[in-house]
Structure 1
Amino acid sequence: MYTKHVSSLMRSSLLGAFALMILACSCKSRDKDTDEREKFLEKERKVLIIGIDGCMPAGITAAKTPHLDTLMADGTYSLQARNTGTTISGPSWSAMLTGVWEEKHGVTDNSFTGSNYTKYPHFFKVIKDADSKYRTVSVSQWHPINDQIATMADVKVNSRDSSKDTKNKAIIELKKEDITAMFVHFDDVDHAGHGSGYSIENPKYLEAIETVDTAIGEIMTALKRRNNYINEDWIILVSTDHGGIGTGHGGDTDEERTIFMIVSGDKVPKVNLSKTTSDSLYTPLTVDLVPTALAHLCIPVQPEWGLEGTSLIKESCNY
């Protein structure tokens, strides 16, 4: 009797200890999962926007562009996006960086006469208004972008007139830890178009695209070598202001209006918006860049801003 009682007690104790072990392991596993989720959620969201002036989507297809190809493969993109405004750099970059068309931002040519950036500012101002600690950087080969549109950027760098210098200056800024949003503008593709033709039959035009692609590859390498990169959540947006026809642009042809849009990042769905399938729910527009960047930064768009674009991504943010 005594032996059976002791045996029963021992069995109960062993079962209790085993249950506690399972509970402890389960809690430890849940804690680990929670830690991993929180670690991911706590990553600092950051934006890199790269503008390639005068780059026709057909040029990307015809040229050797392994780095742009990688960004497209890792995200949402369209080679049939549209610029429905004036196909000139002043109004086009204004639309892309303010999120509104020229009827609102007021710029109709490269003189920037009539600009209304007070009411419809560069989206860097929206970022700074959301958090004054956010740091914005604009590196531009075409100086009017910094001198006219991005005047409120914390850091403005006008590069010399070459893709190489633009790339080098961008990499210098990327080595600084406190960037929230950065814009980099390349102009050599547009120079090649004006100089000898916006055409995939023009070797100089394709060569300029390939040179910029190589520069983008070096910029991406520098980004991934940032000291805190493992704790950062970057979204990369790449686009152009317009295409071209002959040696010019500013008209209403498909060659001038058709642009490309790339949105790449760890959480960005892999979607080709150019497909003529059910995936093709929306044709991206120039003004979509700003709401897309703001969505990634978890900055809710306010109606009074009057933005005219649509975000190309869906972000789950705890507003």
Structure 2
Amino acid sequence: MNKINTYTHKLVAIITVALFIMIFSACNKDFPNRLKESSQNDTSGISAKNRKVLYIILDGVRGKALKAINPPNIAKITNNSVYAFDALSDFDENVLTNAGAWSNMLTGVTKDKHDVISNDFSGNKLAAYPSMISRLKQANPQLRTVSIASSVAFNTNLASDAVLHQEFENDDLAVKNAVNEELKRDDATFVLAQFHSAELAGKANDYEEGTIAYVNAILKIDNYIGEIMTSLRSRKTFSDENWLVVIASSKGGEIAPDGSAVDNTSYGDATRNSFIVFYNPRFSTLFIPKPASDAVPYTGTAPNFAGNDSKISRAVIQDATAFNMGLNDFTVEVKVKVNNGGEYYPPILGKRATFNGNVIGWLFFLEGDDWQLNLSSTSGGNIQANGGAIRDGFWHTLTAKFYKDGATRKASVYTDGVLKKTIDITSRGNIDSPAPFTLGYITGSGGSIDVILSDIQFYNVAIPDNVIKAQSRKTYVDSSHPYFNNLIGYWPGDEGKGDVIKDKSSYTRDFRMQGTAQWQQFNEFTPYLDPIISSDFYKIVPNSVDIPFEIYQWLGVSVPKSWNLDGKSWNPIYSDIKP
């Protein structure tokens, strides 16, 4: 992401960190070392009689739907597994396709590296980031790798290096039968099965756990898994073998929004919601829950302005002519949290010398629980637009837009991206003020403020309503903003020390803090913003890219840094090993 600032609000919850430390292995060799300590089987390399893998991919099975349906065979398997119902196919914002999801699961890297976006695999970089089957062939050409798929494109693009690959287009029954036949072979070592019928049922109907066709498709696949597990346990050499069974959905699917629960993170995206299980008969149950993704705190440092006429608390730009826009269009936006009780008429931001009388300029001010835009000229008097209530303890995004509408000049105000009021300001003419652009208290109101301001933005254009709405929840500005090139002032307000609030736009016009203005840390949930989230937040649960890494570890394949994998390993708890 090409950010023009360093405004990174990170999740710092102690519980999250503790969970991360317990279940993650950041070091590549930590996982095989633990296996060696807890198992009498050989871990020094790939052995046809010891470590083996059965990898089952289920297309289109949402993890949450699977949890609700609770199919009996998978439910039994979880008793000896590391598993998650809120696993992630990936957590980027790219569109997720079957091909992209499969590539994550087979290469161990995301779209940013393998570049598989469309279902025809066009423009891919699989030569640089080959599938796990190709890597295993390089590691041990004698290893028997078998891929049995219900989608021809799966094997064609990701399993062509398998010792045996069989394709049964949209025929999961044939896939199941072929897997059972493969498991009869003494030398079966890496067996991959891909089932596609749940995806077809979800696409034809929907991916809801209450849709009969979708539920039946999942239950039928569960029956196939039950038969496959019976075949696995029936192997005459099973007692001498150490099988890792991985069952994972490639991706979920779109469902109707749940109005009672709002989760704007990747955890709330039903297309990315998957199920991942790592099974071995010696594993104890280890369920991995997702974090509280519907209440991610907005965290950081910003300037706090607490003052009144007798206690100055503000920040100003030295050049008083800056941001005088004449009769041109412009848009101003700020994020605000009001700390104090109801006050009347204290300004919190603006370009005006004082709130008294017919003083030319404009400003945002508080009136009881509401905020308002007020502007005035020397001849036209005051006029204002009410933006609604914001004194509720939450952060809010306030926006004012000044623009021409034919022969009329107007001003509109928005709270959290929602248009609240539009007024005709034609009679006020040019409202350029000789006073500097100011954050915090502007004299002449008689009230007091205690507010925190962050993410202040100034554009030399009237931003369309739909863009104001779409951008209102973001806590940063970057080049993805449609009007990024019109940004003539941007103050994240995240310095945390000193008396300068830096302008991160190309104009570099900084605010200088005055009076009692000071930095304040904050860490609180707000329903109106989507804070920046560290990638670690999404790695608290298994991701699709973790699966190849786990399998390499199980088979004793060394993973060099040059492979540049994105996955992590998950350490099981062994039921027959005392801590």
Task: Please report the TM-score for the alignment, with normalisation by the length of structure 2.
Answer: 0.45
Alpha-carbon distance change, 39 to 145 in structure 1, aligned in 2, over 3 angstroms: closer
Secondary structure, in 3 states, of the residue corresponding to 2:235?
coil
Distance 2:275 2:214 in 1: 16
Distance 1:189 1:314 in 2: 29
Q: Which one of the candidate residues 73, 91, 100 is aligned to 2:100?
A: 91
Are 1:115 and 2:115 counterparts? no
Are 1:171 and 2:429 counterparts? no
Are 1:46 and 2:52 counterparts? yes
266-275 or 38-47, which moves further after superposition?
A: 38-47
Match of residue 299 from structure 2: none
Distance 2:155 2:269 in 1: 29
1:265-276 alignment, distance < 5 Å: 265-274=280-289
Match of residue 180 from structure 1: 189
1:129-144 alignment, distance < 5 Å: 129-144=138-153
Secondary structure, in 3 states, of the residue corresponding to 1:235?
strand
Alpha-carbon distance change, 64 to 162 in structure 1, aligned in 2, over 3 angstroms: farther
Are 1:299 and 2:552 counterparts? no
1:1-319 alignment, distance < 5 Å: 44-83=50-89, 84-85=91-92, 86-246=95-255, 254-274=269-289, 282-313=540-571
- Would the aligned equivalents of 1:295 and 1:314 in 2 still touch at CA under 8 Å? no
| Structure 1 residue 192 displacement after superposition | 0.5
- Would the aligned equivalents of 1:82 and 1:257 in 2 still touch at CA under 8 Å? yes
| Structure 1 residue 118 displacement after superposition | 1.6
Match of residue 5 from structure 1: none
| Structure 1 residue 314 displacement after superposition | 6.2
1:58-116 superposed Cα distances (whole Å, 9 cap, x missing partner): 22123251111111111100011112254210111001100001121121110101122
1:140-160 superposed Cα distances (whole Å, 9 cap, x missing partner): 001111011111111101024
- Would the aligned equivalents of 1:292 and 1:313 in 2 still touch at CA under 8 Å? no
Q: Going by fraction, where is strand more abundant, 1 or 2?
A: 2
The structure showing larger relative contact order (alpha-carbon pairs under 8 Å, at least 6 residues apart) is 1
Q: Going by fraction, where is helix more abundant, 1 or 2?
A: 1
Distance 1:94 1:106 in 2: 9
Alpha-carbon distance change, 39 to 314 in structure 1, aligned in 2, over 3 angstroms: closer
Distance 2:87 2:539 in 1: 12
1:245-279 superposed Cα distances (whole Å, 9 cap, x missing partner): 149xxxx76211111110000343421011669xx
Secondary structure, in 3 states, of the residue corresponding to 1:69?
helix
Secondary structure, in 3 states, of the residue corresponding to 1:256?
coil
| Structure 1 residue 50 displacement after superposition | 0.4
Distance 1:259 1:214 in 2: 19
100-109 or 268-277, which moves further after superposition?
A: 268-277
Look at both structures and tell me which one has the larger radius of gyration over its CA atoms.
2
Alignment RMSD, CA only?
A: 2.4
Distance 2:566 2:135 in 1: 15
- Would the aligned equivalents of 1:273 and 1:281 in 2 still touch at CA under 8 Å? no
- Aligned length in residues: 274
Distance 1:275 1:110 in 2: 29
| Structure 1 residue 230 displacement after superposition | 1.3
Alpha-carbon distance change, 314 to 132 in structure 1, aligned in 2, over 3 angstroms: farther
Structure 2 gap segments, 5+ residues each:
1-38, 257-265, 293-537, 575-579
- Would the aligned equivalents of 1:88 and 1:241 in 2 still touch at CA under 8 Å? no
| Structure 1 residue 309 displacement after superposition | 0.4
Secondary structure, in 3 states, of the residue corresponding to 1:167?
helix
81-90 or 169-178, which moves further after superposition?
A: 81-90
Distance 1:275 1:101 in 2: 20
Structure 1 gap segments, 5+ residues each:
1-36
Task: Please report the TM-score for the alignment, with normalisation by the length of structure 1.
Answer: 0.80
Alpha-carbon distance change, 275 to 82 in structure 1, aligned in 2, over 3 angstroms: closer
Amino acid at match of 2:275: F
- Would the aligned equivalents of 2:255 and 2:270 in 1 still touch at CA under 8 Å? no
189-198 or 127-136, which moves further after superposition?
A: 127-136
Distance 2:542 2:159 in 1: 23
Distance 1:39 1:130 in 2: 20
